[in-house]
Amino acid sequence: MNTTDTHRQTRTWKNYFGLTARGFAMGSADVVPGVSGGTMAFILGIYEELITSIRDIASPQTVRLLAGFKLKQAYDELPWRFLLAVGLGIVLAILSLAQFLEYMLQNQPVMIWSFFFGLVLASIFTVSKRVKQWQISRLVGLVIGAVVAYIIVGMVPLETPNDPWFLFFSGALAICAMILPGISGAFILVLLGKYEFVLSAVNNRDMITLAIVAAGAAVGLVTFAQILGWFFKRYHDITVAVLMGLMLGSLRKIWPWKETVAYIERHGVQIPIKQVNVLPPGWSSEVALAIVLAIIGFGVVIVLDYVASRKQDEPEEPGVPAAAEKEFADS
């Protein structure tokens, strides 16, 4: 568990507040079907440390410490401060923004999709710098990731039960997608027919439903982080290339202008289940505002990447994971 020791020793309360803000950004993205919290983690420079920290929770060393009731040692070594800070931000975003984003998706979808389209498009360029050397294998991984994401985001939602076992399964599957850049956990819930059900549970504070989904998410998160961490450790560049492909393919879902070609009716309300991307319907103030929001989203990522690169050139600054990738590779 030495990959995050330096970070825990040098981070200040200001740094942890920044991590909570990044978690808030991740949670905001997670609520929107089509935008991945993993993409936001990539954009904000905490993705690999996040996977490492989650992996540490279920590592053999942690299991041995807990089995031997060495709770203090486990408490000292686990990256709980990092996970708590990021997790708090995610939870705050979901609880505070669920209603607002639900309203925006229903009433101003073009605006919110435009902003996120700019975010994801810029993140593809910034993440590409994490691949140390582009080779044929990396390009193949990029194409495979793009094709997989393109197909997934084009699927039609299913009608599924609201039984506890399926809610648990939905939470586990959605959280796996949620930490994959490019595949939205919220959209997986849409495909499983559980997005509106879970969003309603959040807004209505249905704690039983949320607890079942959260339990599934916890199991899925720890399990999948082990797999993803293994790939990062052994096939770093190919893994990053595949994740880039996932983001690239997800642009199909995030494109702001769509035409609905199929509906389903639930409780007297028509819900679109199949949409095709179209060009903007001529020049208008709405189109202009959408382009501005996309540019702002693009610019936000570029600025964040610039700030992150500046900090990486100053590794002595407390709380900055300047050598995160190197530490991950050496773990």
**pLDDT for position 162:** 82
Q: Looking at the domain assignment, is residue 23 inside a domain? A: yes
Q: How many domains does the chain have?
A: 1
Q: Looking at the domain assignment, is residue 328 inside a domain? A: no
**pLDDT for position 33:** 61
How many Cβ atoms sit within 10 Å of the Cβ of residue 207?
A: 10
**pLDDT for position 212:** 94
Q: Looking at the domain assignment, is residue 321 inside a domain? A: no
Q: Looking at the domain assignment, is residue 46 inside a domain? A: yes
Phi, psi of 302 (to 5 degrees): -60, -40
Low-confidence ranges of the chain (pLDDT < 70): 1-10, 32-36, 102, 156-159, 181-184, 187, 191, 262-273, 307-331
Q: Looking at the domain assignment, is residue 322 inside a domain? A: no
Instruction: Please name which of 319, 152, 308, 324 lies closest in space to residue 236, comparing C-alpha atoms.
Output: 324
**pLDDT for position 317:** 40
**pLDDT for position 327:** 40
The two three-digit tokens of residue 200, written as one number: 């309603």
The two three-digit tokens of residue 232, written as one number: 């990062």
**pLDDT for position 328:** 42
Q: Looking at the domain assignment, is residue 126 inside a domain? A: yes
Q: Looking at the domain assignment, is residue 165 inside a domain? A: yes
* CA Rg value for the chain: 20
The helix (H) or strand (E) run that includes residue 263 is strand 258-266
**pLDDT for position 295:** 93
Q: Looking at the domain assignment, is residue 329 inside a domain? A: no
The two three-digit tokens of residue 95, written as one number: 């609880």
**pLDDT for position 320:** 39
**pLDDT for position 265:** 64
pTM attached to this predicted model:
0.64
Cβ-contact 166, 160 below 8 angstroms: yes
Q: Which residues constitute the domain of residue 223?
A: 5-315
